[in-house]
Amino acid sequence: MSFVGGVETGGSWCVCAVGSCDGAIVAQERLPTTDPQETLSAIIAFFRRAPRVEVVGVGSFGPVDLDPRSPTWGEVMATPKAGWRNAPVARALQRALDVQVVFETDVGAAALGEQRWGAGQGVGSLAYMTVGTGIGVGLLLGREPWHGISHPEVGHVRVPHDTARDPFPGSCPYHGDCLEGLACGPALAARWGRPAEQLDPDHEAWPLEAAYIAAGLANLVFTLAPERIILGGGVMAAPGLLPRVRRELENLVAGYIQSPALAPGLEQYLVAPALGDDAGVLGAIALACAGSAYAEPRARP
Ligand code: ZN
């Protein structure tokens, strides 16, 4: 059996794995994300110990450069994470391990994993949104993550912000009260003075949170009309939040789009991820299995 590699790089942890394209993992390790040099060395050391692979999929926290013609392909771009700006993640692995690297955002990879083995099976156009430290969306239009001049940054769309109801100015260092600035985990902690997981299920935080997330999702539904949306991330673990977001989204769509996919209640349309904690690294393995050329540097045409 031949294996492929997968790496999920996150703000706090990186997960490396070797597995097969039926989703079986044969080796896996979780490493703390420190500075790029130390972290990349630890990832390389894992693959030197693990069964040999020729392709490694990397799902990286972003923003990242995914343009195969760019000299900074495979690098982390305008990240606030200390030391990681222009960290040459893909090329470091390519050089040290002599492998093909398929490079994607963490959410793009997670969307691929869910499409292959999880809650997105059988669905061609799929959006995967995570609400946690940040808000990210991976969009699969067909079987590939969508890229334009960049990967999409749906977390930074504008949503209505009633400053009388919610005077919190937003936490995004770039846009203030964009969706992420209003609704990511750190925004909740800053607004309410304690982390999301310590807020009671009947706290006033949750109707507001559901309204913001649903407003962001409505933009996505009206723009791209994906066949299904998977909604995950640490904040979405809050009891009752997913059903609240479904109700808000249904109200915002207001029956305007007629599709069997949007059956009343949206229970088949807006769903939780199915791969749990392994979503990121399985996504990276799915990326390697897809092995398509879209993330590999190519000669200029
Ligand atoms: Zn923003």
Q: Where are the domains of the chain?
A: 4-109+277-294, 119-273
Residue 292's pLDDT is 52
CATH architecture label of 119-273: 2-Layer Sandwich (3.30)
Q: What separation in Å is there between the alpha carbon of 154 and the centre of ligand 1?
A: 9
pTM: 0.92
Compute, in angstroms, the gap from residue 168 CA to the centroid of ligand 1: 14
Q: How far apart are CA 178 and CA 63, in angstroms?
A: 16
Q: Which fold would CATH assign to domain 4-109+277-294?
A: Nucleotidyltransferase; domain 5 (3.30.420)
Q: How far is the CA of 175 from the centre of ligand 1 (A)?
A: 4
Give the Å distance between the CA of 49 and the centre of ligand 1.
40
Q: Tell me the CA end-to-end span of the chain in Å, nearest whole number.
A: 35
pLDDT in tens, 271-294: 999 998 788 899 999 999 987 544
205-224 and 241-253 helices, crossing angle to 10°: 50
Q: How far is the CA of 171 from the centre of ligand 1 (A)?
A: 8
| Intrachain domains 4-109+277-294 and 119-273 with the same fold | yes
* Ligand 1 center–CA 100 separation, angstroms: 33
| Residue 9 DSSP SS3 | strand
Rounded Cα distance between 73 and 90, Å, is 8
> For 75-126, how does the pLDDT look when each residue is reduced to its tens digit (9 = 90+)?
998 776 778 899 999 999 999 999 999 999 999 999 999 999 999 999 999 9
